[in-house]
């Protein structure tokens, strides 16, 4: 019994971690099949040993993708996940269960399982009211402004017979050709290519700048109509109506009279999925008749009338020749396997990711091993297994390196981290070049014409050793260098000069300080208005900035404690880059000066972000956590009970949305 309790606790911890990686960070590290196997083991143990039931177990919830950057909105109709299976035997059991639960005649609808991000669109009186992500199935993020940029989604429906209120569910995805074109543009701009279409779609729909979303090649297929007054009593007829109203509904949907017809549909698309213009990872099977759907009902997590059959990830077998160790911009060391060329999912594969030392040890890799590689949407496939029975009699075990392959510095491993790092940030060539490539990228300083090859060339010639050196480049320095004509040199120098008007928050992001991404850089620039003030800030002051915790504050302070980094910042200042925030010039009044304000809940007249901007424009400071230094809280609907309790205990004044607006109105009247 003690072993069972330990395993249940272990599984819950593992699954919670992978839920967070998948739904919040969009950085999955295991395949869907591996996750589902772990979940199946947990569900079996909890069923066999009900005394270990826990309402907060990952088996009792739907994965959560809620971001605190967005206002949350309740789903009128729960947006639950589907049960997954990888075998036809499970589908046969599904068919038997349904026949036991109903005496009514029914059929199945077979649909492609799009590999994107789920979305719910709500229409009122023929107009798109709002778009909400799945979230936890009960409430999700309101991403209406971003969804409005997707041209395949109708904003207004003028057809007769459209219900006064309905929701339509679907999947936002990125077609392969658009994804590849976008990556080509990113590489040409010196930016890192995105990993796969699914993660790109998920990350894009959560961006705070809808103008940037509009530039991404998103599409949306709809697959479920929900409402109280639907036009038909079958799933397929309702979707045909939705198609007539202007929604993009897949043409590949088919009705099946029995489970054998479902198998045929699965077999066809498992072999033909590569012919589609977008990625799918399986097939969804639903009961067609809505009356039977209602009769079957739901479990706590999923409808009883639907299930998804997941395709196994594409795999191939090949030989491991060698392992390279690559050094990233932050000094992280990543092992990459060199393989004998093999065809996998339509492409020739010669390299595969191994991630870190732990995975090398877990796989027990030897050079010359016959390995299984898997491509589940990743650009670089990964090794998922070893055929140890095929191992050569004489073989050398793969050993993780102890010294940096580029600068020979002894590697370090940070406690709690899986990766090793080269600490020689100032002298290690890949780290230096990586920081320069990040600095010139479009979202940072946007210096056009500075791809990876140009950075490498100028570094090899000794013309640049850090980002400040870019601003000392001259025409005569580069004339005669391979691949650089005078016209391209002039364009490059002109782009460098234009970068001097890039706003402070992007300069801060461009410095490449660990953990300070675009969003955090903006938060810092909105709270502390100049580099001079930032450099003089204590850790306590940094922690007052929204989204800045110990990890980010410590990283910033460590960065500026290094003399070489301070010298670079000073040189950039001398070259007239923007080291003061233009956000200080947006002040409407100082009625909130020296006020530290927490915003919590959902508001009626504006979004939470708009409210926070209003606070800044009137001289106030947004903070994320409640303390004795909090001036007051602006509370909307559904304010968190923990925050409310803490505010009451500290005696902090709580303002309604209207009371807050009245303060601003009195000042401006």
Active site residues: 113
Cβ neighbour number for residue 508 with a 10 Å cutoff: 25
The span from the CA of 594 to the CA of 581, in Å, is 18
Nearest to 353 by CA among 367, 370, 374, 332: 374
Q: Find out whether 531 and 569 touch, Cβ atoms under 8 Å.
A: yes
Burial environment of residue 297 by CB neighbours within 10 A (0 to 12, 13 to 18, 19 or more): exposed
Those residues with Cβ within 8 angstroms of residue 167's Cβ, 6 or more apart along the chain or in another chain: 75, 76, 77, 120, 121, 122, 123, 225, 226, 227
The CA angle 114-119-123, to the nearest 5 degrees, is 130
Cβ neighbour number for residue 610 with a 10 Å cutoff: 11
The span from the CA of 508 to the CA of 490, in Å, is 26
Please tell me the number of Cα atoms within 13 Å of 200 on its side-chain side. 28
The span from the CA of 275 to the CA of 336, in Å, is 30
Residue 29, token pair as written in the block: 């590290």
Q: Find out whether 375 and 313 touch, Cβ atoms under 8 Å.
A: yes
Strands (E) in 561-662, as ranges, are 596-600, 621-622, 632-635, 653-656
Residue 179, token pair as written in the block: 């994804």
Phi then psi for residue 61, to 5 deg, are: -140, 165
Q: Find out whether 317 and 372 touch, Cβ atoms under 8 Å.
A: yes
The span from the CA of 624 to the CA of 547, in Å, is 7
Output DSSP code: residue 469.
Answer: G
Token pair 């580069």 in the structure block, residue: 478
The span from the CA of 303 to the CA of 79, in Å, is 10
Strands 280-287 and 117-124: unpaired
The span from the CA of 640 to the CA of 602, in Å, is 10
Encode burial over 125-162: b for 16+ CB neighbours within 10 A, e otherwise: ebebebbbbbbbbebbbbbbbbbebbeebbeebeeeeb
Which residues on adjacent β-strands are paired with residue 413?
420
Q: Find out whether 253 and 110 touch, Cβ atoms under 8 Å.
A: yes
Number of residues written out for the chain: 669
Question: For the CA atoms of 486, 492, 495, 500, what is the dihedral angle to 10 degrees?
Answer: -110
Those residues with Cβ within 8 angstroms of residue 551's Cβ, 6 or more apart along the chain or in another chain: 515
Residue 228, token pair as written in the block: 């109280």
Output DSSP code: residue 321.
Answer: E
Nearest to 33 by CA among 422, 309, 441: 309
Nearest to 407 by CA among 428, 421, 422, 389: 428
């Amino acid at each position: 019994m003690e072993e069972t309790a330990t395993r249940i606790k272990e599984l819950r911890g593992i699954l919670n971690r992978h839920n967070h990686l998948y739904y919040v960070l969009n950085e999955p590290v295991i395949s869907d099949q591996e996750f589902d196997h772990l979940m199946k083991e947990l569900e079996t143990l909890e069923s066999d040993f009900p005394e270990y039931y826990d309402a907060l177990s990952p088996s009792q919830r739907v994965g959560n993708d809620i971001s605190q950057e967005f206002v949350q909105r309740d789903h009128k109709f729960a947006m639950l996940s589907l049960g997954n299976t990888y075998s036809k035997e499970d589908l046969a059991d599904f068919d038997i269960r349904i026949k036991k639960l109903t005496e009514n005649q029914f059929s199945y609808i077979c649909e492609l399982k799009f590999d994107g991000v789920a979305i719910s669109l709500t229409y009122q009186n023929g107009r798109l009211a709002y778009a909400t992500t799945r979230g936890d199935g009960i409430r999700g993020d309101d991403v209406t402004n971003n969804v409005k940029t997707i041209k395949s989604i109708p904003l207004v429906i003028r057809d007769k017979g459209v219900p006064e209120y309905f929701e339509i569910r679907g999947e936002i995805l990125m077609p392969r050709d658009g994804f590849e074109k976008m990556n080509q543009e990113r590489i040409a701009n010196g930016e890192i290519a995105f990993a796969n279409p699914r993660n790109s779609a998920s990350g894009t729909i959560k961006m705070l700048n809808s103008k940037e979303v509009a530039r991404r090649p998103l599409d949306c297929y709809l697959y479920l109509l929900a409402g109280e007054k639907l036009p038909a009593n079958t799933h397929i007829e309702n979707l045909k109506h939705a198609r007539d109203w202007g929604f993009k509904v897949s043409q590949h949907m088919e009705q099946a009279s029995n489970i054998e017809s479902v198998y045929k549909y699965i077999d066809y698309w498992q072999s033909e999925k590569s012919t589609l213009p977008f990625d799918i990872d399986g097939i969804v099977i639903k009961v067609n008749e809505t009356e039977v759907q209602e009769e079957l009902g739901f479990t706590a997590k999923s409808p009883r009338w639907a299930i998804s059959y997941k395709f196994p990830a594409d795999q191939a077998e090949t030989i491991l020749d060698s392992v390279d160790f690559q050094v990233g911009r932050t000094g992280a060391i990543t092992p990459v396997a060199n393989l004998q060329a093999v065809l996998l999912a339509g492409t020739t594969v010669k390299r595969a990711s191994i991630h870190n030392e732990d995975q090398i040890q877990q796989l027990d890799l030897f050079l010359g091993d016959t390995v299984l590689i898997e491509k589940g949407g990743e650009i670089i496939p990964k090794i998922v297994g070893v055929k140890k029975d095929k191992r050569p009699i004489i073989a050398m075990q793969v050993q993780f390196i102890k010294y940096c392959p580029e600068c020979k510095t002894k590697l370090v491993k940070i406690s709690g981290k899986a990766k090793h790092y080269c600490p020689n940030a100032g002298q290690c060539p890949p780290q230096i070049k990586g920081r320069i490539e990040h600095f010139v990228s479009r979202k940072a300083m946007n210096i056009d014409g500075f791809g990876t090859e140009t950075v490498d060339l100028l570094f090899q010639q000794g013309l640049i050793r850090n980002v400040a050196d870019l601003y000392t480049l001259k025409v005569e320095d580069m004339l005669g260098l391979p691949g650089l004509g005078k016209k391209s040199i002039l364009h490059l120098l002109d782009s460098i000069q234009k970068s001097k008007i890039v706003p402070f928050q992007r300069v801060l992001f461009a410095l490449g300080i660990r953990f300070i991404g675009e969003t955090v850089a903006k938060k810092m620039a909105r709270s502390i208005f100049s580099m001079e003030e930032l450099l003089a800030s204590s850790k306590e002051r940094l922690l007052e900035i929204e989204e800045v915790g110990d990890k980010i504050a410590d990283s910033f302070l460590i960065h500026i404690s290094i003399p070489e980094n301070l010298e670079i910042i000073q040189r950039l200042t001398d070259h007239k880059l923007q080291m003061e925030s233009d956000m200080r010039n947006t002040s409407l009044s100082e009625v909130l000066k020296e006020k530290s304000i927490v915003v919590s809940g959902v508001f009626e007249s504006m979004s939470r972000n708009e409210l926070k901007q209003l606070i800044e424009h009137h001289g106030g400071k947004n903070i994320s956590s409640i303390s004795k230094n909090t001036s007051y809280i602006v509370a909307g609907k559904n304010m968190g009970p923990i925050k409310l309790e803490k505010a009451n205990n500290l005696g902090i004044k709580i303002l309604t949305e209207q009371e807050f607006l009245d303060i601003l109105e009195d000042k401006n009247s």
